[in-house]
């Protein structure tokens, strides 16, 4: 179980690192974009290093759980559930932020 905690935390850290890299790449390509950029896209693209701060609570919680002699399955399920929820929110917010500039804009006549 302790290996599962470390592997899932490492996977979440790699997901956050990937989001950081992709945000910086997309930010460079959006500089010449003719359409005004939404606030969510600006938050995602202008501050890509914030993605590296997201896994810190799970790193602390994994280290606390890893120091226990016997792991409670409920604690591991709570850890995994919150990690999965955070990953889903992270992926959803970044994907929406990256896709918003690509949506067609309806212009009033």
> pLDDT by residue (tens digit) across 78-92?
999 999 999 999 898
Residues 32-69 pLDDT 10s: 777 677 777 777 778 888 888 999 999 999 999 888 88
Residue 30: what pLDDT?
76
Residues 8-28 pLDDT 10s: 999 999 999 998 888 888 877
Q: Per-domain residue ranges for the chain?
A: 2-102
**CA separation, residue 93 to residues 6, 24, 39, 82, 108 (Å):** 25, 15, 12, 16, 28
State how far the Cα of 34 lies from the Cα of 30, in Å rounded to an integer: 9
Q: Looking at residues 89-98, what average pLDDT do you find?
A: 85
State how far the Cα of 17 lies from the Cα of 23, in Å rounded to an integer: 10
Residue with tokens 């003719």: 34
Residue 107: what pLDDT?
63
């Amino acid at each position: 179980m302790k290996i599962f905690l470390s592997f899932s935390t490492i996977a979440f850290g790699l997901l956050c690192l990937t989001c950081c890299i992709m945000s910086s790449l997309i930010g460079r390509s959006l500089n010449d974009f003719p359409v005004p950029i939404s606030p969510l896209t600006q938050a995602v693209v202008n501050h890509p290093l914030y993605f590296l701060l997201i896994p810190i609570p799970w790193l602390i919680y994994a280290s606390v759980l890893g120091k226990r002699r016997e792991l409670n399955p409920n604690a591991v399920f709570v850890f995994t559930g919150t990690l999965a929820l955070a990953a889903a929110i992270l992926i959803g917010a970044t994907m929406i932020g990256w896709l918003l500039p690509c949506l067609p804009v309806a212009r009033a006549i």
